[in-house]
Amino acid sequence: MKYALITGGSRGIGRAICEALAEHTDYGILINYNSNKEAAEDTKKRVESYGNKAEILAFDVADKNAVDTVLNEWQERNPEAWIEVLVNNAGITKDGLFMWMKEEDWSSVINTSLNGFFNLTQFVIQKMLRKRYGRIVNMVSVSGVKGTPGQTNYSAAKGAVVAATKALAQEVAKRNITVNAVAPGFIKTDMTGELNEKELVKLVPANRFGEAKEVADLVQFLTSDKASYITGEVININGGIYS
């Protein structure tokens, strides 16, 4: 059986991606979470309501040993299964002006987004190469392409994933594996819940925040056969705030 693995899949954009893939594909859905088991269980129920198989995998994407251990155990339990789609969605923010930024706030954000990309992608890419097919979608951000003041750490992490996306895409394209990045702007999620939407919406030409489902529908398209000639791309979805 073929599976799609979504990191940070229990809430927000990650949950919407799990649901979109469940609605439009027959993939089994692997829902990764790090801290909120209750939210992951809820996402699992939503996926199963579409008739898809769903499993929850608990690990911190920044911890390579944990990633390898959990995924190797899953593979041993499911010897015939393989992960055909990987969505690197997990990310954290630790915002603050660079001149006062603590080293741990720099490192933890880099470790989750950039090292998380490495840890997960390196695990799944081996089998994708052998099977000669795969879809990798990296969730970046407007911060990673434009840069956002107060988010030098997050911008650095996501910008690095943008560059990695472009390089890896060229390495694996001959094996029918695509690697793309999606860069959302202001999207209504828990992560943006504390932002002043009334003020920030003035910056957005579309005059509104985006919905998680809109991002998820784009990701779902990129994982499909219809997007087989799109690779190494960074697709902005931000209501016109930056392109």
Active site residues: 154
Beta strands per DSSP E along the chain: 2-6, 28-33, 54-58, 82-88, 134-139, 177-184, 234-237
8 A C-beta contact, residue 211 and residue 171:
no
**Per-residue H/E/C for 75-110:** HHHCCCCEEEEEEECCCCCCCCCHHHCCHHHHHHHH
Q: How far is it, in rounded angstroms, from Cα 132 to Cα 85?
A: 13
Contact indicator for 10, 40 with CB cutoff of 8 Å: yes
Give the Å distances, CA to CA, from 65 to 15, 75, 116, 151, 161. 25, 15, 12, 28, 21
What is the C-alpha separation between 75 and 163, in angstroms, rounded?
A: 30
154: closest CA among 73, 198, 97?
Answer: 97
220 near 183, Cβ under 8 Å?
no
Q: Do residues 162 and 155 touch, judged by C-beta distance below 8 A?
A: no
Q: Are 55 and 28 in contact (CB under 8 A)?
A: yes
